[in-house]
Structure 1
Amino acid sequence: MGDPKYSRRTLFAALGAVIATATGVATYVSSASEATERQIATADRVNSTPAAKPTVRFERVYSAARHREVTLAFYLPTGVSSRGLPMSILLHGLHGDARHAAGGGLAEVLTAAVAKGSVPAFGFVAVDGGDHYWHENVPGDDPMAMLLDEIPGWLKERGYGQPFAVTGVSMGGFGALLYTRRRAERGDPIAAAAAISPGLITTWPEMAKRKAFKNEGEWASLDPLRHLKSTGPTALGVWIGDRDRFIEGTRQFMHAVRPEVGVVKDGGHDDGLYRKVMPDVVQFLAKYAKRAV
């Protein structure tokens, strides 16, 4: 049985109270349309361990924004043309890299959904971003500039479509929201952003442990929780486990922003939770994927 879905009006009229089922699942979904809710609900029927294997490609490229070589990774559904293929940028978490960005069986879930015809074809592109929450913490090493200014060219050179979305896990979820903000500030908003277990930390002492920001002021200037209306018209999807260490900040974000899809599931900050939500993530992103021709 799929997780229960509630409209914004119902949920937020109740002062943002979390409505939990007997299985410990709480879900927030926009009341934009019943069709949207049905489309997200079908995610539970996608097999997360399909027979078809995704196409995965790795390259080494030089990033002028980061002043180093980085790995560029492509996670693609098998059996479809890559020409003009819509792409979501995929941001890894702390101590992660492009080669391991597609956790929770994400690429396999995408391949299965495309093969059965439940979603249009699209792909993911990941790149090494370091451990500084996707911003220029070290002078001359600017992963956000790499995402904004270099990835579009790398995709074009290889015949892919331009990024229509961004997806991120943990630190990458923080980065996905920051990237969404930067695109909106440029007057070129992306269609959708998916944040899974986003690293939305609520206190400076806790964030300072990560050594990702020079000081509290710099963190405050970039923290999605301090810039709740900065993502523009982009459709947002947020997923997290009820035992995740980032649950407090993520709940604050969901209550304040009212994303199109916001889900709290039974689980922690681990691959088990990611495997539960990746079918939803794929279905959510697929609504906004349009092939470039």
Structure 2
Amino acid sequence: MALAGAGAGGAGLAVEGGLLPGRSTLYRALGLDGAPGHVPGTQPGPLVSGHFTSKARLGASVGWTIAYPPGSAPGDRLPVAVVLHGYSEDHTDAFGRRLGLEHFLAQDHARGGTPFALAAVDGGDTYWHRRVTGEDAGALVTDEFVPMLAARGLDTRRIGLLGWSMGGYGALHLAGRLGAARVASVVAESPALWHQASQAASIAFDGAADFARSGVMGRQQELDGIPVRVDCGTGDAFCPAARDYVAGFDAADHPAGGFEPGAHDMAYWRRMAPAQLAFAGARFA
């Protein structure tokens, strides 16, 4: 895997791909990452999975899973948050022994949260936007997956978007493209962000023009009217850029979330999941 230069871009991709220890290992060694989060034992609601052939992903067979809250069933007209996975992962990382979001969703429901579904799909490693090859994981979400969710009875008039790492960037990017009329909330966890094309991981964008077209830095106004939450661990290589991104919002639109001890890993993401799902659910209420 190629890395960008020695700046934040190279470090960020190394964190995502697990290739270099970097900032996360240093903070972990110093005991600065905080307590790890754990998947709760709450019994989840139904899960439905499948595959379809994606035109947007140039004929790739993509997997997907929908997680329903307890007491609901496939076909129920629930609002839905689309979950975008990180680099070198797929939709299954959102559930099961990895992030375990179906258990956190059940926990939120048990605490009186607004019932909603979570739906994840395989986006490949193309950073959730159109690439020079013609592959477009963003269009997969908006033009194929969301209509499929609607056909299964879910209420997709205004969706939530939630993602981590590459998917955190993707959630912000797609929310900006769709706008407040289509997006109820966006949660970006440890988003893969860079200030300049020269800093970005080489796999993330097809050069400076693609970065200028598809980057989210400096485009905070595209999220006007959308409730935004951004979380990032202070031991994460992406933390400095995430702080700058959050600082770029107007005071009246300052995102929820924040920065606390944590690394670019599942231990931190599991710890943040309850608050993030509560945030998304409250915006559907």
Cα deviations by residue, 1:208-263 (Å, 9 ceiling, x for unpaired): 43x23221121122111131211121100011100111001100011112534121
CA distance in structure 2 between the partners assigned to 1:254 and 1:260 by the alignment: 7
Structure 1: gaps of 5 or more residues? 1-22, 26-45
Aligned to 2:90: 97
CA distance in structure 2 between the partners assigned to 1:24 and 1:236 by the alignment: 26
CA distance in structure 2 between the partners assigned to 1:142 and 1:275 by the alignment: 28
Cα deviations by residue, 1:138-181 (Å, 9 ceiling, x for unpaired): 43311111111112320122112215210010000000000001
Aligned to 2:213: 221
**In structure 2, what residue type is equivalent to 1:157?**
A
CA distance in structure 2 between the partners assigned to 1:235 and 1:84 by the alignment: 22
**In structure 1, what residue type is equivalent to 2:41?**
P
Root-mean-square deviation (CA, aligned residues, Å) is 2.2
CA distance in structure 1 between the partners assigned to 2:182 and 2:153 by the alignment: 22
Say whether 1:273 aligns with 2:265.
no
Deviation at 1:47, TM superposition (A): 8.6
Aligned to 1:109: 104
**In structure 1, what residue type is equivalent to 2:51?**
R
CA distance in structure 2 between the partners assigned to 1:243 and 1:156 by the alignment: 39
CA gap 1:117/1:81 in 2 versus in 1, 3 angstroms: farther
Q: How does 1:168-183 map to 2 (within 5 A)?
A: 168-183=163-178
CA distance in structure 1 between the partners assigned to 2:171 and 2:273 by the alignment: 16
Aligned match of 1:264 in 235, 259, 264? 259
Matched length: 244
Conserved? CA contact 1:238–1:259, under 8 Å: no
Aligned to 1:283: 278
Identity %: 27
- Partner SS, residue 274 of structure 2: helix
Say whether 1:194 aligns with 2:166.
no
Aligned to 2:55: 64
Conserved? CA contact 2:127–2:166, under 8 Å: yes
CA gap 1:129/1:117 in 2 versus in 1, 3 angstroms: same
- Partner SS, residue 199 of structure 1: coil
**In structure 2, what residue type is equivalent to 1:70?**
V
Task: Give the TM-score taking structure 1 as reference length.
Answer: 0.77
Aligned to 1:150: 144
Task: Give the TM-score taking structure 2 as reference length.
Answer: 0.79
CA distance in structure 2 between the partners assigned to 1:189 and 1:155 by the alignment: 14
CA distance in structure 1 between the partners assigned to 2:201 and 2:80 by the alignment: 33
Say whether 1:55 aligns with 2:49.
no
Conserved? CA contact 1:105–1:278, under 8 Å: no
Conserved? CA contact 2:50–2:65, under 8 Å: yes
- Partner SS, residue 204 of structure 1: coil
Aligned to 1:166: 161
CA distance in structure 1 between the partners assigned to 2:152 and 2:256 by the alignment: 32
Cα deviations by residue, 1:13-51 (Å, 9 ceiling, x for unpaired): xxxxxxxxxx989xxxxxxxxxxxxxxxxxxxx994133
- Partner SS, residue 224 of structure 1: coil
Question: Which shows bigger deviation, 224-233 or 245-254?
Answer: 224-233
